[in-house]
Structure 1
Amino acid sequence: MTNERKEDGDKGRSGSHEYINTVAAVAIAPSGAGEELSKYVAQAVGVIRDSGLKNETNAMFTNIEGDLDDVLRVVRDAALRLASQGHRTGVSLKLDIRPGFRNQMERKPQLVDELLSGQAQSER
């Protein structure tokens, strides 16, 4: 588990609390804005990308990794980007809160690949 676990006393960006690693899967979109929502989703994703937190966007969600407070703040800011335009805004959010760890957006898929590789070898 190299580079994924940090010391228990690791502080977040503000330095006022212990860093609590969080990986979030979030989908933010307005309701009643028509059939094509891409231009609205892009606005929310833009807020996330501008946050400086590690993120990646796929067909269904944007994944974000960082300190719990920072992740929640950026989800709020992204949702308010649409809500401030008068849109009823839906947010689907799933959080994986894992104190003491980092780089889980990279490590978790690597672990699955390693397990699948080992499984494929053992089936031969």
Structure 2
Amino acid sequence: MESPQEQQTTDAGKPYINTVAALCIAPSGVGDELSEYVAQAVATIRDSGLPNETNAMFTNIEGDLDEVLEVVRAATMKLAGQGYRTGVTLKLDIRPGFKGQLTRKPQLVDEILDKRQ
């Protein structure tokens, strides 16, 4: 089990609370194909500058808790602000003292699986 790394702070001097978010944002009532709408939310996330990756079901984002929540709100408002009923699924993994978990978590799983061979 990994132990927490040294406590870090944000530029504002507040404790840095590392957060990995799995986020899905989609409008309701716009038809069967949602990709054009989802792309608007994903563009907002990518423009944030926070580390992120998009897969078939979610966009994962990593950063300080306050920054992540700000991006979640901005991406949600990209659709809701246009008048669309908008569904949001959000899962947060908050791990103070850590960074780089968006890439490190899959690496750890791969290392464990490699040992099994």
Q: Give the TM-score normalised by the residue count of structure 1.
A: 0.89
Counterpart amino acid of 1:119?
A: R
Q: Calculate the aligned-residue CA RMSD, in Å.
A: 1.5
Counterpart amino acid of 2:104?
A: R
Match of 2:95 in 1: 98
Q: Distance in 2 between matches of 1:108 and 1:68?
A: 18
Q: Give the TM-score normalised by the residue count of structure 2.
A: 0.94
- Percent identical pairs in the alignment equals 68
Q: Which has the larger radius of gyration?
A: 1
Cα drift, residue 37 of structure 1: 0.5
**Unpaired stretches in structure 1, ≥5 consecutive residues:** none
Q: Does residue 108 of structure 2 align to residue 118 of structure 1? A: no
Corresponding pairs, count: 116
Q: Does residue 81 of structure 2 align to residue 84 of structure 1? A: yes
Counterpart amino acid of 1:114?
A: E
Q: Distance in 2 between matches of 1:92 and 1:18?
A: 26
Segments of 4+ moved more than 2 angstroms: none
**Unpaired stretches in structure 2, ≥5 consecutive residues:** none
